[in-house]
Structure 1
C-alpha cells in the first residue's frame, strides 16, 4: 500500500487572475477583487489520475480544504491527521507537514506555489520524496509537475510500483513586493527529492534579461511590421514582449498584461476580468513569450490570460515570440500549457509558429505529457 501525504494551500494562485502577481499576504485583496480559488480544482485534476488505483494507495491529509475535501469529492481512501485554522496559514502547512513526516508517508504531495514549496522544504527530511501540483502564480521551483494532470500521471506510476529515478531539485522563490514593482529577485532556499522524469517535472525557471539585444530588436521589428490598425494587441509579460513595447515607444508592465491599439497603449496591467471585457467582441492578437528553461507559455505568471480570454482571442491569433537561444535552453523538451482548463490545454497542443527574428520563424511542439499517448 503506497502511503501518500497530501497538503493543499487553498489560497495558492489567488492573485494571478486579478493581476496581483502573487498571493502571499494578498488573499483578502484578491478575493475582494473577484479572484476564484483554484488550488482545490487543480488538486482534483491531479488526483483523478489515481481513480482506478484506489486499492493500491492511502492518503493522509489535513482537514477541510487543505486536502480532506478533495479526497471526499473523489471518494479516495484517506485519513485526516490535522485540523487547520480557517482560513489556513503557512503555519498550518508547517504543522501538517510535520505530522505527515511523523506518519511515515512514502511521498508528500502538495499543491501551491513557491511559497508553499519553501514551507514544505523546511519540514521534510532529505530522504523523503515530494511532488508538487502547480497551483501558484509564480512557480520558479523545480519540484512541481508541468501540469496538474501530468503530476497525477507521474504519481500513478509511483503507486503502480514502476521504476522512477529520484533527483534533487531546487526550491526557488522571489520577493513578491519587488515582483509587483517589476523587479525579479529570485533566491534558492534549498532542495528536495523529486521523481526525475523530465517529461513530467518542470525545470527551474531561468531568470534575467535576454542579452542578445539585436535579436530582440529583430523580433520586435517583425512583430511591429505585422500589426494592423483594426486589431487590438494583448501584450503579455516578459522581457521579449517588453522589447516590442520599447520599440513602439510605449510604457510596459514587465510582469503584467497590457493592451495596445493603433500604436497606442489602451490599458495597463489588466486582470483577467478587465482584459476579457476589453477584447470579447474585438479583433485581437495575443503576444506572448515562453518561460526560459521551463517552456511554459500559459499558466506561469500570466494567469491574467484566462481560458476565457484565450478562447475569445482564438488559438490561431496567438503570436509566440522567443529567441533561438531561449528555445535551445529547453534541450528538445516541448512547450507546455497549463491554463487550468484541460480541454483548452488539449486544443493548444500541437505545432506552433515561434517568431525568432525578422522574417524568421520556427515550428515548435506544444505537448503536455498527459496527452502525448493519445
Structure 2
C-alpha cells in the first residue's frame, strides 16, 4: 500500500502507519476483488476456501461467490495471521492463492515451502518473484487452467528484497527459496534480472538523445531505474534511483522521491513521463513505480510517454513484450498494442505491450 505515496513498500516496522499518515489505503482488497470477479467469469462455482474477514472473506462476499471460511485471524492482521492461515490452508486446498508482494510471498514460503502449488496475485510494491501472475485477470485465468488440469507445475523463485536498502535506493536481492506454481506460460511473470555490462553504451546514447531533444520549459517525470538515472545525469541531476523525480528540461529540480499526490501537483498535459521497463520482466507500469498512477498517466496523456531501454534488455525478454498492470483495467487496455521504445541514439524498436 505504500507505492503511490513513495514509501516503496510497507514490510518494515512502522511503515503501515506512515503510509496511512501520508494518505495511502490498502490496495489488496481491490485487487483481490478484481481477481475474484474474473474468477467468477471463468465459471468457478464451488470449492473456494478463504481466510476470515479482510484477508479474503470480505472480497469473496462482494464478488458474489460461494465460499467456506478457513482459519482464524486477529484484528489488525499481521504476518503471523498469514503464516497461520497458510498452514491451515495447506491441508484444505489444491492451490493456494495469495495477494501481496515479495514480502508476503516470503511468508507463504515459510508456511508451506514446496508442499503445495501456490499462485500470487500482484498487489504489492516489490513484486519481483516469479510466483506471481502478471495481473489479477491473468491470475484468475491461471487458476481456471490449473483446476481444469490444463497445466503442469514448475518451481518459481521467491526473492527477498531488503526493504531498508530499497528505501535507501539500493536494490539488494537475494533468493529466499522456491515454491511450486502453475506452469501457465505468459500469464506468469519472470523474476527481475539485473542490468548487464554491455547495456552501458546503449544507455549513455539514449540519455544523450533524450537531453538533446528536451524542451527547457517542459516538465519531465523521471521513473525509477538505472536507465532513467543515466538520463537524469544528462540533465545534471542526481536522481533517486528507485523513486520518481521531476525536473524541467533545463535541469531545474522540481521534486525528488515524490508521491502520487505530489506528482499530480506538478504535471499537466504538456509534461512528459520517462520510464524504462524492468529487466527480465518487461513491466512498464505497475511494478515499483506505482507513484506514476492511472491518475498521473491520464493527466499527462499516453501520447507523452518516453519509453527508454537498452536494446539488449528488450531482446532478452522471453517472450519479447512489455506488460502493464496499473490497477485500472480500462487504462491498461488503452496502453496495450504496440509502442516505440528508444533503444540508442536516434534508434527505436517497436514492441508489443500486453
* Superposition TM-score, scaled by structure 1 size: 0.91
Residue 76 of structure 1 is matched in structure 2 by 65
* Aligned partner of 1:300 among 287, 300, 305: 287
Residue 49 of structure 2 is matched in structure 1 by 60
Counterparts of residues 34-113 of structure 1 (less than 5 Å): 34-52=23-41, 56-103=45-92, 105-113=93-101
CA distance in 2, matches of 1:78, 1:107: 15
Aligned residue pair count = 351
CA distance in 2, matches of 1:211, 1:55: 48
Q: Are 2:113 and 2:178, in contact at CA under 8 Å, matched by a contact in 1?
A: no
Q: Are 2:293 and 2:326, in contact at CA under 8 Å, matched by a contact in 1?
A: yes
Aligned-pair distance for 1:157? 2.1
CA distance in 1, matches of 2:6, 2:42: 39
Residue 366 of structure 1 is matched in structure 2 by 353
Query: Structure 2: which 5+ residue stretches go unaligned?
Result: none
Q: Are 2:151 and 2:184, in contact at CA under 8 Å, matched by a contact in 1?
A: yes
The CA RMSD measured in Å over matched residues stands at: 1.4
CA distance in 1, matches of 2:138, 2:27: 17
Q: Helix, strand or coil: the match of 2:48?
A: strand
Structure 1 residues 71 and 180: CA distance shift in structure 2, 3 A: same
Q: Are 2:4 and 2:291, in contact at CA under 8 Å, matched by a contact in 1?
A: yes
Aligned-pair distance for 1:359? 0.8
Q: Helix, strand or coil: the match of 2:76?
A: coil
Aligned-pair distance for 1:209? 6.4
CA distance in 1, matches of 2:49, 2:233: 51
Q: Helix, strand or coil: the match of 1:312?
A: helix
CA distance in 1, matches of 2:48, 2:302: 38
CA distance in 2, matches of 1:17, 1:235: 15
* Aligned partner of 2:344 among 346, 357, 370: 357
Q: Are 2:35 and 2:137, in contact at CA under 8 Å, matched by a contact in 1?
A: yes
* Aligned partner of 1:149 among 126, 137, 141: 137
Aligned-pair distance for 1:39? 0.6
CA distance in 1, matches of 2:23, 2:197: 35
Aligned-pair distance for 1:80? 1.2
> Is structure 2 residue 105 aligned with structure 1 residue 134?
no
Query: Structure 1: which 5+ residue stretches go unaligned?
Result: 1-13, 368-374
Residue 346 of structure 1 is matched in structure 2 by 333
CA distance in 1, matches of 2:226, 2:172: 15
Residue 296 of structure 2 is matched in structure 1 by 309
CA distance in 2, matches of 1:138, 1:93: 18
Q: Helix, strand or coil: the match of 1:131?
A: strand
The 10-residue stretch of structure 1 (109-118 or 188-197) with the greater mean CA deviation from structure 2: 188-197
Residue 164 of structure 1 is matched in structure 2 by 151
Residue 196 of structure 1 is matched in structure 2 by 183
Aligned-pair distance for 1:213? 2.2
Q: Are 1:231 and 1:282, in contact at CA under 8 Å, matched by a contact in 2?
A: no
Deviations 1:74-96 (CA, angstroms, capped at 9, x unpaired): 12111112221212100000000
> Is structure 2 residue 271 aligned with structure 1 residue 288?
no
Q: Helix, strand or coil: the match of 2:60?
A: helix
CA distance in 2, matches of 1:277, 1:332: 37
* Aligned partner of 1:182 among 166, 169, 184: 169
Q: Helix, strand or coil: the match of 2:261?
A: helix
Residue 121 of structure 1 is matched in structure 2 by 109
Deviations 1:310-347 (CA, angstroms, capped at 9, x unpaired): 00111111000000110012133311001000000000
Residue 213 of structure 2 is matched in structure 1 by 226
* Superposition TM-score, scaled by structure 2 size: 0.96
Q: Are 2:46 and 2:67, in contact at CA under 8 Å, matched by a contact in 1?
A: no
Residue 324 of structure 1 is matched in structure 2 by 311
Structure 1 residues 247 and 230: CA distance shift in structure 2, 3 A: closer
Deviations 1:70-123 (CA, angstroms, capped at 9, x unpaired): 1111121111122212121000000001111122x1000000000100010112
Aligned-pair distance for 1:57? 3.2
